[in-house]
Structure 1
Amino acid sequence: MADTGGEWQVARRRKGASKRLTSFFVSTSCCQNQLDVGKTIKRIRETAADLKCQDVWEEWKGQIQGNVSEKLQESLDSKISPLQYVCYGLGTFSSCVSARYQLAMLLLLLDAGKIPLKDCFVFDPAFSPGEKDVLRELGLTVLTENEEGKRLATKPTLFYLMHCGKALYNNLLWKNWSPQSLPLIMIIGNSFSSMRERMIEREFKRNYSYISQAVTVCEERQLTCPSHLIDVFGDTALITFNSTKLISLPQCSWTETPEPQYQDCPDLEIIQRESNNGVRT
C-alpha cells in the first residue's frame, strides 16, 4: 500500500483471529496534534495512485460507469442537470486506512466520470475539523448538517455509502420512496440481500421496512473485491431501481410511508442529529 508514514502502526492480528486483512490502524500523533492538511492530502493521493494500479479499480470503473451512463440516459432530460454524488459515513480517514482507501476510490470515480468535485457532497459526524479542511481543500462540498441520510434526490444522484448502518440506507429509501424518485438514485454500498440474510426476517421487516421492500425490486450488481481489500470493499454492491420493477409493489407501499423511528433498535448503527435542546432525534 502507498501509505508508509512512520507514525502509522498496523494492529497485529491476535492468534486465532480472522485472517481477513484488519482495517484497524492507529496513529501515534494525529490525536495529539492538529492534523497536517497537506500531509494528509498527499497520503490520500498516494493511496489513489496505488488503487489506480490495481485490477479492482479497472473492474469497478467498468461496472459503475456503464450503469451510470445507462441510468443517465433513462432519466436525463432538459430539466435535469447531470449526476451528483453524495457520500455519507466515510469515517475518520486521517487515522483509518480502510476509510482512506474508500475516499481514494470515491475520488477516482469522480475523476473517471468527469464529475466536478464541488458536486460531491460529503458528511460524517465523526469528521474532525482538520478532516473537513482536507475535504474542502480537495474540492469536495462538506455538508454542515447531519441529514441522517434523509436527502431527496431531485436529479440523478449516486449515494456512496460504504459500510454504513442499515438505518442510514433505510432513511434514504424512505425519503425517496416514490416511483418518481427511486429511479433517480444509485447506491454504492452494502448489499441489501446480505442485510436480509443476516437478520431475523420479522425484525428486518419491522425495523427496516423500506430496505425490506426495496430488496425485492432493486437491481444489485456485486462489485469486485480482492481478498487483501475485503475489509475495505467487501460485500459492496451497485444498487439501482428500474421503474418497471417498482410497479410490482402494491399501491399501499406508496401511500403508507411513515418516517422510520427505530424505537426497537437498541444497537442503532447511526449517529442521529441533536435537536435544539440537545436531545438526539
Structure 2
Amino acid sequence: MAAAGAWRAAGRRRRRREAAEEEEGAVLRRVREARDDLLSSGFWAASAGAVRAPLSASAEPPARCVCYGLGRFGGCPAARHQLAFLLLLLEELGEGKHGIEGSATLFYMVHCGKALYNNLLWRNWSAGALSKMVIIGNSFKGIEERLLSRIFERDYSYIAKVLKGTEEVALPTHPRYLDTFNDTSVHWFPLQKLKELSPEVWDFVEEPMYHECDDLEIIRKDHADEHHPAAVES
C-alpha cells in the first residue's frame, strides 16, 4: 500500500510538472508570436527611430534596463506586446554585450502611474544622474497638457521641473496597438539642457508625498494593506 501511495504521489507530481511545462511553453510561444506581430506590422521598424534618438545623442548608451508596470503577459495580449517590444529594444541596444555594470540605465515604464515617473525623477534628482537615464513611458508633455498647472506643479513637481531639460520623441501611432502603446514616448535628458535650468530647480529635493492628490495611481506605503502587497511604490 505504501508503495502504491508513493507511486500515485509521484504520478501527480509528474503531471503537475508536465502541466507547468506545457503552460510555460504556451506563454513563450505567445510572446514569440507577439514579437513576430510587431515586426510584421511594421510598428517596430517605425518605432526604431524614436528608440535610436537618445543613443545617437548620448556618449554613454544604457547598459542596464529596469522594467516597471508590465502586466500579466501570460493572459493579457497588450502586456505581451509590451514585453515583446522590450525584447526587441534590448536586441537593438545590444545590452547583453556589456562586460561591466554601467551606470547609464533605460527605464521601461509603459502606462505606469504619473507618481511613479515623478518618484523616479526625485530619486535621481541631479544633472549627472538624469543625463544617464532614458525613460520609455507615458508622454511627459501629455501629462502636462492633461492636468491643471497648479495640480501638475504641486503633485508632480519633478516632472514639471525637468520638462525644459527633456528631449521627447513619441512612438508612432498604429491602429493595431492604439491601447498598447498610446501616449508612449522616449525621454532623455541631455546634460547641457539640464545645466541650463536655473539653480533653484535643483535646490528643492523633498520626497513626494501626494497627500493632496485625488487621482493617485499608486498606493503609498502608509495606505498599503495586505490586499495590495505588490502595488506599493515609494
TM-score (structure 2 length as normaliser):
0.80
Pairwise CA RMSD of aligned residues? 2.9
* Cα drift, residue 154 of structure 1: 7.0
Q: Which amino acid aligns with 1:40?
A: V
Measured after TM superposition, the shift of residue 249 of structure 1 is: 2.1
Establish whether residue 181 from structure 1 lines up as the match of residue 129 from structure 2. yes
Query: 3-state SS of the aligned residue for 1:181?
Result: helix
Task: State whether structure 2 residue 204 is matched by structure 1 residue 256.
Answer: yes
Aligned pair in 2 of structure 1 residues 66, 277: CA closer, same or farther (>3 Å)? closer
Residue 230 (structure 1) shift:
1.0
2:143 equivalent to 1:156: no
Could you tell me whether the CA contact under 8 Å between 1:192 and 1:211 is conserved in 2? yes
Q: Name the aligned partner's letter for residue 216 of structure 1.
A: K
Match of 1:87 in 2: 67
Q: Per-residue deviation at 1:158?
A: 0.9
- TM-fit CA distance, 1:69: 4.1
Structure 1 regions of 5+ residues with no counterpart?
Answer: 1-32, 77-81, 120-152
- Counting matched residue pairs gives 209
- Identity %, equivalent residues: 40
TM-score if structure 1 supplies the norm length? 0.67
The amino acid across from 2:147 in the alignment is M
Tell me how far 1:116 sits from its aligned partner. 2.2
**Counterpart in the other structure of 1:226:** 174
Output the CA distance in 1 between the equivalents of 2:82 and 2:88. 10
* Alpha-carbon distance in 2 for matches of 1:217, 1:85: 22
Deviation by residue 1:196-252 (Cα, 9 ceiling, x = unmatched): 110111011000000111122211111112122111111111111111111222212
DSSP 3-state at the match of 2:169: strand
- Map of 2:186 onto structure 1: 238
* Residue 266 (1) aligns with residue 224 (2): no
Aligned to 1:111: 91
Distance in 1 (CA, whole Å) between partners of 2:53 and 2:119 is: 27
> CA 1:45–1:270 in 2, change beyond 3 Å: closer, same or farther?
same
Shift in alpha-carbon separation, 1:154–1:250, aligned structure 2, 3 A: farther
| 1:57 is the counterpart of 2:44 | yes
Partner SS for 2:29: helix
Query: Which residue of structure 2 lines up, in the alignment, with residue 200 of structure 1?
Result: 148
Q: Return 5+ residue gaps in structure 2 as ranges.
A: 1-18
Q: Following the alignment from structure 2 to structure 1, what is the Cα–Cα distance between the partners of residues 29 and 225?
A: 40
8 Å contact kept, 1:156–1:184? yes
